[in-house]
Amino acid sequence: MLLKALRIGLGQLVVFADWISRPRKLKRSPEAQAEVERATANLALYQFHACPFCVKVRRSLHRLNLPVQLRDAKNDAEHRQALEQHGGRIKVPCLRIEENGQSTWLYESKAIIAYLDQRFAS
Protein backbone atom coordinates (compact mmCIF):
# COMPACT_ATOMS: atom_id res chain seq x y z
CA MET A 1 0.00 0.00 0.00
CA LEU A 2 2.79 2.41 0.91
CA LEU A 3 4.76 1.56 -2.24
CA LYS A 4 1.71 2.14 -4.41
CA ALA A 5 1.14 5.57 -2.83
CA LEU A 6 4.81 6.42 -3.31
CA ARG A 7 4.70 5.33 -6.97
CA ILE A 8 1.58 7.40 -7.62
CA GLY A 9 3.08 10.41 -5.87
CA LEU A 10 6.32 10.19 -7.81
CA GLY A 11 4.40 9.76 -11.05
CA GLN A 12 2.44 12.94 -10.38
CA LEU A 13 5.69 14.73 -9.54
CA VAL A 14 7.14 13.67 -12.91
CA VAL A 15 4.02 14.98 -14.70
CA PHE A 16 4.18 18.27 -12.79
CA ALA A 17 7.90 18.72 -13.53
CA ASP A 18 7.15 18.14 -17.20
CA TRP A 19 4.38 20.71 -17.15
CA ILE A 20 6.51 23.48 -15.60
CA SER A 21 9.57 22.81 -17.78
CA ARG A 22 7.93 22.05 -21.13
CA PRO A 23 10.02 23.08 -24.19
CA ARG A 24 8.84 25.60 -26.74
CA LYS A 25 6.92 24.36 -29.75
CA LEU A 26 8.57 24.35 -33.16
CA LYS A 27 7.17 27.16 -35.31
CA ARG A 28 6.17 26.33 -38.88
CA SER A 29 4.32 28.15 -41.61
CA PRO A 30 0.57 27.39 -41.66
CA GLU A 31 1.04 25.31 -44.82
CA ALA A 32 3.91 23.31 -43.33
CA GLN A 33 1.97 22.74 -40.11
CA ALA A 34 -1.04 21.54 -42.11
CA GLU A 35 1.21 19.03 -43.90
CA VAL A 36 2.58 17.82 -40.55
CA GLU A 37 -0.97 17.41 -39.23
CA ARG A 38 -1.86 15.27 -42.26
CA ALA A 39 1.24 13.14 -41.70
CA THR A 40 0.59 12.67 -37.98
CA ALA A 41 -3.02 11.59 -38.54
CA ASN A 42 -1.64 8.07 -39.03
CA LEU A 43 0.30 8.02 -35.74
CA ALA A 44 -0.85 7.02 -32.26
CA LEU A 45 1.15 6.89 -29.03
CA TYR A 46 0.17 4.19 -26.57
CA GLN A 47 1.26 5.41 -23.16
CA PHE A 48 0.74 5.63 -19.41
CA HIS A 49 0.16 9.15 -18.11
CA ALA A 50 2.86 9.17 -15.41
CA CYS A 51 5.44 6.89 -17.05
CA PRO A 52 8.75 8.83 -17.22
CA PHE A 53 9.61 7.38 -20.64
CA CYS A 54 6.16 8.33 -21.95
CA VAL A 55 6.62 11.84 -20.57
CA LYS A 56 9.94 12.01 -22.45
CA VAL A 57 8.20 11.11 -25.73
CA ARG A 58 5.31 13.52 -25.07
CA ARG A 59 7.87 16.31 -24.48
CA SER A 60 9.33 15.57 -27.93
CA LEU A 61 5.85 15.61 -29.46
CA HIS A 62 5.25 19.01 -27.84
CA ARG A 63 8.69 20.34 -28.90
CA LEU A 64 8.13 19.25 -32.51
CA ASN A 65 4.53 20.55 -32.45
CA LEU A 66 3.09 17.18 -33.48
CA PRO A 67 -0.62 16.51 -32.85
CA VAL A 68 -0.37 12.75 -32.29
CA GLN A 69 -3.26 10.74 -30.80
CA LEU A 70 -2.48 9.71 -27.22
CA ARG A 71 -3.93 6.36 -26.17
CA ASP A 72 -4.05 5.44 -22.49
CA ALA A 73 -2.99 1.79 -22.32
CA LYS A 74 -3.29 1.73 -18.54
CA ASN A 75 -6.88 2.84 -17.97
CA ASP A 76 -8.51 2.05 -21.32
CA ALA A 77 -9.03 -1.70 -21.79
CA GLU A 78 -9.62 -1.34 -25.54
CA HIS A 79 -6.29 0.42 -26.12
CA ARG A 80 -4.49 -2.00 -23.80
CA GLN A 81 -5.89 -4.96 -25.73
CA ALA A 82 -4.94 -3.41 -29.10
CA LEU A 83 -1.41 -2.83 -27.84
CA GLU A 84 -1.08 -6.43 -26.74
CA GLN A 85 -2.75 -8.04 -29.78
CA HIS A 86 -1.22 -5.94 -32.54
CA GLY A 87 1.96 -4.64 -30.95
CA GLY A 88 2.78 -7.97 -29.35
CA ARG A 89 3.20 -6.83 -25.75
CA ILE A 90 1.97 -4.36 -23.18
CA LYS A 91 4.95 -2.05 -23.02
CA VAL A 92 4.91 1.73 -23.22
CA PRO A 93 5.66 4.03 -24.83
CA CYS A 94 4.73 2.52 -28.16
CA LEU A 95 4.18 4.49 -31.36
CA ARG A 96 1.82 2.92 -33.90
CA ILE A 97 2.69 4.06 -37.41
CA GLU A 98 0.16 3.42 -40.20
CA GLU A 99 1.76 3.67 -43.65
CA ASN A 100 0.74 2.12 -46.95
CA GLY A 101 -1.88 -0.06 -45.27
CA GLN A 102 0.62 -1.56 -42.82
CA SER A 103 1.07 -0.98 -39.11
CA THR A 104 4.46 -0.68 -37.47
CA TRP A 105 4.67 -0.73 -33.67
CA LEU A 106 7.74 1.16 -32.48
CA TYR A 107 8.80 0.62 -28.87
CA GLU A 108 11.49 2.35 -26.78
CA SER A 109 11.43 6.08 -26.14
CA LYS A 110 14.83 6.71 -27.78
CA ALA A 111 13.77 4.96 -30.99
CA ILE A 112 10.45 6.82 -31.06
CA ILE A 113 12.12 10.20 -30.53
CA ALA A 114 14.76 9.43 -33.19
CA TYR A 115 11.98 8.52 -35.66
CA LEU A 116 10.04 11.71 -34.89
CA ASP A 117 13.14 13.90 -35.14
CA GLN A 118 14.18 12.33 -38.43
CA ARG A 119 10.72 12.66 -39.96
CA PHE A 120 9.47 15.99 -38.58
CA ALA A 121 12.33 18.20 -37.34
CA SER A 122 13.03 20.97 -39.82
Indicate the pTM of the whole model. Answer: 0.89
The pLDDT of residue 47: 97
The pLDDT of residue 39: 94
CA dist., res. 41 & res. 44, Å (int): 8
- Candidate CATH numbers 1.10.3130.10, 3.40.30.10, 3.50.50.60, 3.30.70.1150; the one for domain 1-22+42-121: 3.40.30.10
Secondary structure (3-state) at 58: helix
pLDDT (tens, 9 = 90+) of the chain, 122 residues, equals 888 888 888 888 888 888 888 889 999 999 999 999 999 999 999 999 999 999 999 999 999 999 999 999 999 999 999 999 999 999 999 999 999 989 999 999 999 999 999 999 86
The pLDDT of residue 79: 96
97, 42 contact by CB (below 8 A): yes
